[in-house]
Amino acid sequence: MSTLVPQGRRPQHLTIGRVGVYAFLVTAALFFLLPLWIMVMTSLKPMDEIRLGNIVALPAAMTFEAWSKAWSSACTGLECNGISVGFWNSVRILIPSVILSIVAGAINGYALSFWRVKGANVMFGILLLGAFIPYQVFLYPLVRIFSMTGIYNSLTCIVLVHVIFGLPTMTLLFRNYYAGLPIELFKAARIDGGGFWTIFFRVILPMSTPILVVATILQVTGIWNDFIFGLTFAGRENLPMTVQLNNIVHSTQGERAYNVDMAATMLAALVPLVVYFVSGRWFVRGIAAGAVKG
């Protein structure tokens, strides 16, 4: 009768190095989670309890009144319609901005990876250069350009700005991902008579799911959390949620309602949190599949 031989690595004893690693990870987790905990607990407390000063304690009398007020009746200046107006403005900005920037980045990355045109590397370098220049440098020239074209302070204007500034990063992501795909697939499609768009839609795009998820997470997070572009280019009727949040926090009448401020902050951060937790594992897979190759 044969005996079973244990397979795999033998369990390691707890060493000083491993204790140090665990201590660092726990400290880092607390560093990021403690502010979130304080925000959630404060948003669930009435002001009478907040005045007691114990900001990390569980609420003695839990209430969602601050969340309701932050959503529907908090003041953002002269108007008291809550942060819901900014939420729907952000959705209207987000959807076309994400779709257009990812489509443009995918096409650019595909063209730069497989269609070796003269000067492509120079063009790619110039495109990437824009990603390293501070956005504030471009604000005034863009304001003048959009004012002359008549689209300044409009939904079209803010969407176009997000597409323009998302293009370098999206092009880099897709180019590096496509550079890791077998060139033989492209050559075989060319031999079969495939053109630019046929190869892109029937061969390359179906293999792009991991990097599409990565690009979507990056763009959703960046565009939803944007403040300066929304404030500068969106116009009064299209102010995004981040700008409305700033207005709520700085539009205090009488006593400052910290619970409402925290609830509004949590509502503003809800979409990126949901996107990350739902598709975070796909983000890791996309990065591992070649998002940083090149």
How confident is residue 272, by pLDDT bands cut at 50, 70 and 90? confident
CA atoms 86, 59, 32, 210: torsion sign: negative
Domain ranges for the chain: 16-62, 83-292
Query: SS3 of 130, please?
Result: helix
Range 83-292 classified under CATH 3.30.70.270: no
The mean per-residue pLDDT over the stretch 20-29 comes to: 91
pLDDT of residue 2 exceeding 60, the answer is no
Across 147-156, 213-222, 284-293, least confident range: 284-293
Contacts of 132 (CB under 8 A, 6+ apart): none
Question: For the chain, give me the number of helices (H) and strands (E)?
Answer: 13, 0
| Percentage of the chain modeled with pLDDT above 90 | 40
Residue 10 confidence (pLDDT): 60
Residue 25 confidence (pLDDT): 92
Residue 262 CA: distances (Å) to CA of 8, 48, 240: 49, 15, 18
Amino acid at 197: W
How confident is residue 292, by pLDDT bands cut at 50, 70 and 90? very low
pLDDT tens track for 180-212:
888 888 889 888 888 889 999 999 999 888 889
**Rounded (to 5) percent helix, strand, coil in the chain:** 70, 0, 30
pLDDT tens track for 68-107:
999 998 888 778 888 999 999 999 999 999 999 999 999 9
